[in-house]
């Protein structure tokens, strides 16, 4: 695999972990609801 592809894959994995963390941390519920209201991604 090319180095660039590895970097993209790592960035994608990190992004997914961050999204999962946001969804799991109750303290960030207002943030999650704001994102849901604007984008509907989560």
pLDDT band at 42 (very low <50, low <70, confident <90, very high): very low
* Predicted pLDDT at 22: 72
What is the distance between the alpha carbons of residues 8 and 36, in angstroms, rounded to a whole number?
25
CA distances from 10 to 7, 19, 20, 25, 26 (A): 5, 14, 15, 22, 26
Residues 6+ apart with CB under 8 A from 25: none
User: What residue has token string 């303290």?
Assistant: 27
* 26, two tokens: 């109750």
- Averaged over 2-7, what is the pLDDT? 91
Q: Flag whether pLDDT at 41 surpasses 70.
A: no
* Predicted pLDDT at 39: 59
- pLDDT tens digits, one per residue of 7-34: 999 999 999 998 887 777 766 677 767 7
């Amino acid at each position: 695999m090319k180095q660039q592809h590895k970097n993209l894959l790592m960035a994608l994995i990190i992004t997914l972990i961050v999204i999962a963390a946001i969804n799991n941390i109750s303290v960030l519920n207002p943030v999650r609801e704001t994102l849901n209201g604007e984008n509907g991604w989560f």
